[in-house]
Amino acid sequence: MRLDKYLSERLGIPRGESRKLAAKGRVTVNGVLTKKADTQIEEATAEVAVDGRPLAGAYQKYVYLMLNKPEGVVSAAQDKRDTTVVDLVKDAFPRRQLFPAGRLDKTSTGFVLLTDDGTLAHDILAPGRHVPKQYLVTLDTPLTNAMRVGFAAGVTLADGQTLAPAEVAPAGADPCVVRVTLHQGVYHQIKRMFGVFDAGVNALHREVIGPVALDAALVPGQWRELTAEEVNALRAAAKPKN
Ligand code: URA
């Protein structure tokens, strides 16, 4: 990759700025002062420094973020009226076309995966891959045995659609607070599943996607990059199954 492109992507600055940085003699590649913007560098291994400070991390082909979505924010890349999950991170990644891999309702909170890796997003969301997602749900009525049995068998929604088996269990001492694990993603799925049992959902928080749990240190609106281990674990979980 050209040095100016690398600098622009790593620093989130225009190409012209990158060229100026290099021309002013502020950039070294593998310890060698490099003024030419068209210098080809090996992006996976090059040690690039600006003003003697190494750029953090290696060049990344894709970005993977875990966001703790706050209530009232919509799971979309852009929206005319509401703040979107991408609005919350885009200042840090001005050149990336990030989008949410899977949606949470506007009123729901918790783990939204943001990426520009369309292949992984597709694999996570593909109906056949069954990457499980876990939610903490507050109901307006206690959990019943009928709900448990119904979820395990596969709930038939009001529109006649029968869903894949899912799990529901108490999350603690409060019988209205439960953990639900889904293996598919249907619009308003959890609310509609409990609706079949005349139960309403007061709060819904996604805690886990496949092998990756939302970092407890992230308060609503905060995000962090996934670690390489987390990305690899997600890839393995979303791999096509034979
Ligand atoms: N099910 C719902 O009803 N809402 C969500 O946001 C996620 C799952």
Tell me what pLDDT residue 242 has: 60
Using pLDDT thresholds of 50, 70 and 90, give the confidence band for residue 59: low
Residue 2 is classified by DSSP as: B
Mutate to test the pocket of ligand 1, among 139, 151, 191 (most ligand atoms within 8 A of CB): 191
User: Of 79, 87, 105, 215, which is the active-site residue?
Assistant: 105
Q: What is the SS3 assignment for 16?
A: helix
Please give the full DSSP string across 101-133, using - where no structure is assigned: SS---TT-EEEEEEES-HHHHHHHH-GGG---E
Burial 118-150 (b: 16+ CB within 10 A, else e): eebbebbbeeebebebbbbbebeeebeeebeeb
Instruction: With CA atoms as reference, report the closest residue to 71 among 58, 60, 61, 82.
Output: 82
Q: How far apart are CA 26 and CA 51, in angstroms?
A: 5
For the question of residue 105 being annotated catalytic, the response is yes
Tell me what pLDDT residue 130 has: 77
Minimal-distance CA residue to ligand 1 atom 7: 104
Per-residue pLDDT of 142-189, as tens digits, reads 999 999 999 999 999 999 999 999 999 999 999 999 999 999 989 999
Mutate to test the pocket of ligand 1, among 189, 196, 201 (most ligand atoms within 8 A of CB): 189
What separation in Å is there between the alpha carbon of 239 and the centre of ligand 1? 24
Share of the chain above pLDDT 70, in %: 97
Instruction: With CA atoms as reference, report the closest residue to 50 among 93, 16, 6.
Output: 6
- In the chain, what are the domains? 3-54 (3.10.290.10), 64-127+211-237 (3.30.70.580), 133-209 (3.30.70.1560)
Instruction: With CA atoms as reference, report the closest residue to 210 among 125, 114, 133, 106.
Output: 133
117's tokens: 């890796």
Q: What is the SS3 assignment for 183?
A: coil
Per-residue pLDDT of 105-141, as tens digits, reads 999 999 999 999 999 999 998 877 779 999 999 999 9
This prediction's pTM: 0.78
Helices then strands, counting H and E runs in the chain, come out as 6, 13
Q: Is any atom of ligand 1 closer than 6 Å to the C-beta of 108?
A: yes
